[in-house]
Amino acid sequence: MAHGTATVVSDGPTGPRHTDSPIIETRDLHKHFGQVRALAGVDLSVPPGITGLVGANGAGKTTLIRLLLGLTAPTSGDVAVFGAPVSRDAAGLRAKIGYMPEGSCLPRDQTAADFVAYAAELAGIPPAEARRRASETLFLVGLHEERFRYLGDFSTGMQQRVKLAQSIVHDPGLVLLDEPASGLDPAGRDQMLEVIDRFRGFGMNVLFSSHLLDDIEQTCDWVVMLDGGRLLRSAPLDPPADGAAVSVEVFDDPLPLVAALTAAGIEVTHADRVVTAVSPTEDVFVAVRNALAASGSSIRAMGADLSSLEDVFMAATRESNG
Amino acid sequence: MADTPTIGQASAVILDRGYRSYHGPRTGRRGAMAAVVKEGYRRVLGLRRKAKRKIFPWTLIALALGSAAVLVAIEWVSSTLPISLDTSDLFPRYAGYFDFISNIALLFAAFTGPQLLVPDRTQGVLNVYFSRPLGVRDYLVAKGATFAAVILSFWLVPQLILHLGYAALSPAGFLSYLGETTDILWKVPAAALVYFTMHGSLAFLVASFVKRVGAAAAGFVAVLLGLNLVALLLQETGLAPGARWTALLAMEQHPRFVRDWIFDLDASITIPAQAGFDPEASLMVVIGCAVISVLLVGRRYRRLT
């Protein structure tokens, strides 16, 4: 997993690119559609880099993206992108933002080169430059050879790449990607994530919505978790240090093992019969072995903690739901 | 000996620059709207599209331009005949030319309006438009401007060919003819504008609700001609309460009535005229249709986004 630390402050034509200031901020953000609560009191501060936006269907991911684009107004609360309130100049901000929608957005009767150039012109790039940038962007996403083919003849994977190309052709400071790997085979997904990872090199910040948590883990520096319109977590996505955590699944009551580990000064969490022990200083395997012996617990499985983003998400959801 | 660059080295150019940041000028909303207009033109004319997409619009354009050229040719042939022949009574000029190509123009409007609106909506391209510095109003204004430019060109370019052709063949001379017919310079565009306002507003209205280009085109023609038929039947039978007012349903007839008013012609054969309405009433219907259409299309697109 890549971890970018941005330190250079520079306000280019597309807004702050490398800065320590948050790229996205929301304060007590609410959005209701009639009786349906899409977002409820979301306070968010997203730093520069690649951020994953995680949540089940209906969690409020797309609503949040639409609020960031200024396409819908919040019921209450504030949204700011690059430090500027979206409500002040939504159209001006959209010139600095790229958006890749989840669904189809490609006209079947245009060539890839024409459409991506058109997308650049729509964002204010002059026509001649738009054509040049379309060619360069299609090269970046691996469609240089196919750029003069009609979009209606493209495979799903190629269409996803064109969608990605149109979202970055105007050199945005922030790119909002809604399920970019949707519908792709594993190889296509890897290629897509690889391209997104390269955006760091161009100084682009990315908010990347996905329900595929592996994709988020593979690509993002920061993760925002939503559930039922509420913010569960907004935090850096740090990998556990090797050997720092061990998970044990026991056959019976996990509490004696938890007590033994706690008595040994080990940080412990447990969910159902899975106990996770964490210690940055001690050898956790030795501590767990000793605690198992002391508690007399029978183990079903044991291993280095492979706690995935999915575990974190599920734990956060459980915690949120009490 | 110093190294001397060969011709090949000296003229070497890096063709692929790779993706780079952009620090040049940005054209903003106006540039975005100009792009929508340009792309709209390409779409309705089938430019930068597959060959089959060009067949229908260019066939209609060829028919419109060809008919004007044929009329000029007939004028030229008749001018070479030993007998004096007044072709203005035999063949349509200016006002009459509107009737001459009205069916072709109707088909062209039926095709163009949906082409401008339907694919963007059904193929999800609106997501791209509205993620750019472009609002719903900007989008619809740009599309409307494209529609107006295309349809008005369709009406006016053949009229220009006619006008210049007749001027060139005029016994009084080219400039004298142009001087004597200066009223044409406002009457023809004014009539074309009335036709566009009626056809355009209905075509846009139908296209903003129907999901297929073909169905929208057929729906537009059906609405226009169907209402004519309904109005005619109700007028003939006189059965409906307030039957006279139903003459105002004859949408296809209003532009004709107004056009004849503009050209000072007898318009007694149009349905609204037969029901005793003045051309001003037809003009109000045309304007009313445009206003209602703008409101409904605007509302529809605001809801969509």
To the nearest whole percent, how much of chain A has pLDDT over 70? 86
Instruction: Give residues 252 to 281 of B whose Cβ lies within 8 Å of A.
Output: none
pLDDT: which is higher, B194 or A309: B194
Would you say A200 and A50 are in contact if contact means Cβ atoms under 8 Å apart?
Answer: yes
pLDDT average, residue stretch B168-174? 93
Question: With bands split at pLDDT 50, 70 and 90, how would you rate the model's confidence at B41?
Answer: very high
Q: Is the pLDDT of residue A233 over 90?
A: no
Question: With bands split at pLDDT 50, 70 and 90, how would you rate the model's confidence at B277?
Answer: very high
CB-based contact, B211 to chain A, within 8 Å: no
| Residue B127 Cα, gap to closest chain A Cα (Å) | 6
Round the average pLDDT of chain A to a whole number and report it: 86
Q: Which of B13, B41, B128, B213 is the best residue to mutate to test the A interface, defined by the most A CB atoms within 10 Å of its own CB?
A: B128
pLDDT of residue B9: 55
Classify the complex by whether its ipTM is higher than 0.90, answering yes or no.
no
Nearest CA-CA partner of A168 in A99, A86, A82: A99
pLDDT of residue A252: 85
pLDDT average, residue stretch A76-98? 94
| Residue A177 Cα, gap to closest chain B Cα (Å) | 12
Q: Is the pLDDT of residue B2 over 60?
A: no
Q: Is the pLDDT of residue A37 over 90?
A: yes
Strand segments, DSSP code E, in A82-228 are 84-85, 97-100, 174-178, 205-210, 222-227
Question: With bands split at pLDDT 50, 70 and 90, how would you rate the model's confidence at B191?
Answer: very high
- Whether A99 sits inside 8 A of B24 (CB atoms) is no
Would you say B134 and A121 are in contact if contact means Cβ atoms under 8 Å apart?
Answer: no
pLDDT of residue A15: 44
Say whether A80 sits in a helix, a strand or coil.
strand
Round the average pLDDT of chain B to a whole number and report it: 91
Q: Is the pLDDT of residue B241 over 90?
A: no
Q: Is the pLDDT of residue A4 over 90?
A: no
pLDDT of residue A280: 67
Q: Is the pLDDT of residue A18 over 60?
A: no
To the nearest whole percent, how much of chain A has pLDDT over 90? 57
pLDDT: which is higher, B91 or A100: A100
- Whether B18 sits inside 8 A of A110 (CB atoms) is no
Cα distance between residue A258 and residue A128, in whole Å: 67
- Whether A118 sits inside 8 A of B35 (CB atoms) is yes
What is the DSSP secondary structure assignment for residue A111, as one 8-state letter?
B
pLDDT of residue B11: 62
pLDDT average, residue stretch A224-232? 92
Cα distance between residue A183 and residue A181, in whole Å: 6
Distance of alpha carbon B70 from the chain centroid = 22
pLDDT tens digits along A296-312: 888 888 876 545 666 66
Q: For residue B160, which phi and psi values (nearest 5 degrees)?
A: -65, -40
Cα distance between residue A146 and residue A293, in whole Å: 64
Q: A73-82, A244-253, B129-138: lowest mean pLDDT where?
A: A244-253
Cα distance between residue B112 and residue B106, in whole Å: 10
Question: With bands split at pLDDT 50, 70 and 90, how would you rate the model's confidence at A238?
Answer: low
pLDDT: which is higher, A254 or B17: A254
- In order of A13, A299, B94, the CA distances from B24 in angstroms are 8, 64, 49
Of B20, B43, B123, the CB nearest to A104: B123
Kindly report the pTM of this predicted structure: 0.83
Q: What are the sequence ranges of the domains in chain B?
A: 28-289
pLDDT: which is higher, B224 or A183: B224
Q: For residue B103, which phi and psi values (nearest 5 degrees)?
A: -70, -40
Domains of chain A: 11-236 (3.40.50.300), 245-306 (3.30.70)
